[in-house]
């Protein structure tokens, strides 16, 4: 599976404005934290800008340039913040829900088919082996984690599909805060079966050291 | 109109709030932006309102444009795209703040954004590699937001071919960025 293509697809879909609100927030944060992704996004927006230069002309019927100079809805100085702060405010003030010791999450109230969550893991905490029903996108906001496939630091994303099983572990020094998008429920493996959700699974079987 | 002319006009707006310069920018872009909204299946009246908002933003927030970071058409495209997203979002109950988070991407930031001429070179390289059909597919898929199915129907080629060719373009773009 070519992860690069999936990442590019996310960037291009964002650049062209076809993502839903959850993924738009995710992708804009990704572009903010990751300069490589930002470059790709810029290049693609330049290409789309070229398309605009060559676009056909459909003249607006009732619009003159003077109408655009007296539009009070547009303010010249909005206080721009980064996407995470502007949506969530200070992360420390969020009503985090503890899933198990050392693992907290916060689900954003976004009306979308995709679910967007923030995940906070204390240093050294791990997530039991699992896979995914749909795609899962994880973006590291602070700290880092590693799994069987590598180490992921601030600005890195991991995109997981049904074929991937992994056991992420938060960095022993820093822990990590991530943003995640899930398209469908996570599936657990092992003798406990896939019908268990994360919460009950952890509650029943996961003993925090 | 030449790009350098557009940039000169924009400079006159930024420096002197030159209304005649703005009227020329308006004459060049308003009908293209309006067409963009209509191509994206936004109703005629709404398209016109959105076009007004885009051009108003160009006038009111002209200080946010930096010609060393992107072409003027790119900046205006991203404003139009963001207006389109906001417009489509208004129909749902999402609790986004009014302020557009994506504009943040066009502020000064510490990460090194590519220079205009570097972007230009890369676009040229990509354009040289893509054949006419691939360019049309990019336009249809990402500019007009047509589905793969619709592209297949309009170009009269199999859906699988559309998917694999777009995938090929994405892979290729990644190679250019190494």
Q: What is the pLDDT along chain A (209 residues), one digit of tens a residue?
A: 457 778 888 998 898 888 888 898 999 999 999 998 988 888 889 889 989 998 999 999 989 999 999 877 777 665 566 888 888 989 999 999 998 889 999 999 887 778 899 999 999 998 876 666 678 899 999 999 998 889 999 999 998 876 777 788 999 999 999 999 987 544 444 434 334 444 444 444 443 33
In chain B, residues 94-123 whose CB comes closer than 8 Å to chain A: 94-97, 99, 101-105, 107, 109, 111-114, 119-120, 122-123
Listed in sequence order, the residues at least 6 apart from A70 whose beta carbon sits closer than 8 Å to its beta carbon are none
Partnered with residue A169 across adjacent β-strands are A126, A146
* Binary contact (B52, A83; C-beta < 8 A): no
Q: Are residues A179 and A26 in contact, defined by beta-carbon separation less than 8 angstroms?
A: yes
Sign of CA dihedral B91, A10, B150, B154: positive
Burial class (CB in 10 A: 0-12, 13-18, 19+), A88: middle
Check if B7 contacts A (Cβ < 8 Å). Answer: no
Q: Classify domain B3-105 by CATH number.
A: 1.10.1740.10
> CA nearest A69 in B: which residue?
B56
Q: Which CATH number fits domain B116-176: 3.40.50.1820, 1.20.1250.20, 1.10.10.10, 3.30.1300.30?
A: 1.10.10.10
Of the candidates B28, B30, B19, B113, the residue with the CA atom closest to the CA atom of residue B69? B113
Do B76 and B54 form a contact (C-beta atoms < 8 A)? yes
Given an 8 Å threshold on Cβ–Cβ distance, is A5 in contact with B174? yes
Q: Is A61 on the interface with B (CB under 8 A)?
A: yes
Q: Which CATH number fits domain A3-83: 1.25.40, 2.60.120, 1.10.10, 1.10.260?
A: 1.10.10
Element (H, E) at A182: strand A176-182
Q: Outline which parts of chain A fall under CATH 2.60.120.10.
A: 86-205
Domain boundaries, chain B: 3-105, 116-176
Which neighbouring-strand residues pair with A180?
A117, A138
Q: Is A80 on the interface with B (CB under 8 A)?
A: yes
- Asked if A106 is an interface residue toward chain B (Cβ–Cβ < 8 A), one would say no
Supply the pLDDT for residue B96: 38
> What's residue B84's pLDDT?
87
Q: What's the whole-model pTM score?
A: 0.74
Test mutation, A7, A17, A83, chain B, max B CBs within 10 A: A17
Q: What pLDDT, in 10s, does the model give residues B45-63? A: 899 999 999 999 999 999 9
Instruction: Note whether A21 contacts B96, CB cutoff 8 Å.
Output: yes
Dist. CA A65–CA B164, nearest whole Å:
44
Q: Where in chain A is the domain with CATH 1.10.10?
A: 3-83
Pick out chain B residues at pLDDT < 70. Answer: 89-120, 122, 173-178
- The verdict on a CB contact (< 8 Å) between B93 and A49 is no
Specify the CATH superfamily of domain A86-205. Answer: Jelly Rolls (2.60.120.10)
């Amino acid at each position: 599976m070519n992860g690069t293509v999936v990442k590019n697809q996310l960037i291009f879909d964002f650049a062209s404005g076809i993502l839903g609100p959850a993924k738009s927030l995710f992708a804009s944060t990704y572009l903010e934290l990751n300069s490589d992704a930002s470059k790709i996004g810029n290049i693609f927006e330049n290409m789309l800008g070229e398309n605009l230069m060559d676009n056909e002309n459909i003249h607006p019927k009732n619009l003159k340039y003077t109408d655009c100079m007296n539009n009070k809805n547009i303010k010249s100085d909005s206080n721009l913040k980064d996407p995470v702060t502007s949506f969530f405010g200070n992360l420390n003030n969020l009503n985090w829900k503890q899933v198990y010791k050392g693992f907290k999450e916060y689900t954003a109230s976004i009306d979308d088919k995709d679910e967007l969550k923030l995940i906070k893991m204390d240093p050294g905490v791990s997530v039991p082996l699992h896979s995914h029903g749909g795609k899962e996108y994880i973006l590291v906001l602070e700290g880092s984690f590693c799994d069987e496939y590598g180490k992921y630091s601030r600005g890195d994303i991991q995109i997981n599909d049904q074929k991937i099983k992994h056991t992420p572990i938060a960095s022993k020094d820093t822990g990590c805060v991530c943003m995640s998008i899930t398209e469908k429920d996570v599936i657990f493996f092992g003798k406990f079966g896939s019908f268990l959700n994360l919460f009950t699974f952890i509650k029943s079987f996961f003993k925090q050291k | 109109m030449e790009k350098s002319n557009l940039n000169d006009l924009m400079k006159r707006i930024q420096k002197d709030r030159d209304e005649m310069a703005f009227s020329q920018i308006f004459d060049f872009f308003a009908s293209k932006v309006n067409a963009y909204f209509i191509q994206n299946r936004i109703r005629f009246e709404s398209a016109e309102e959105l076009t007004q908002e885009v051009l108003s933003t160009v006038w009111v927030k002209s200080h946010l444009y930096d010609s060393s970071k992107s072409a003027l058409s790119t900046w205006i495209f991203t404003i139009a795209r963001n207006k389109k997203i906001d417009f489509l979002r208004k129909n749902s109950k999402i609790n986004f703040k009014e302020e557009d988070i994506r504009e943040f991407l066009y502020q000064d930031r510490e990460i090194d954004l590519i220079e205009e001429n570097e972007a230009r070179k890369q676009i040229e390289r990509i354009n040289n590699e893509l054949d006419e059909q691939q360019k049309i597919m990019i336009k249809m898929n990402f500019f007009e937001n047509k589905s793969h199915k619709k592209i297949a129907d309009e170009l009269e080629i199999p859906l699988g071919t559309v998917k694999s060719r777009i995938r090929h373009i994405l892979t290729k773009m990644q190679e250019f960025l190494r």
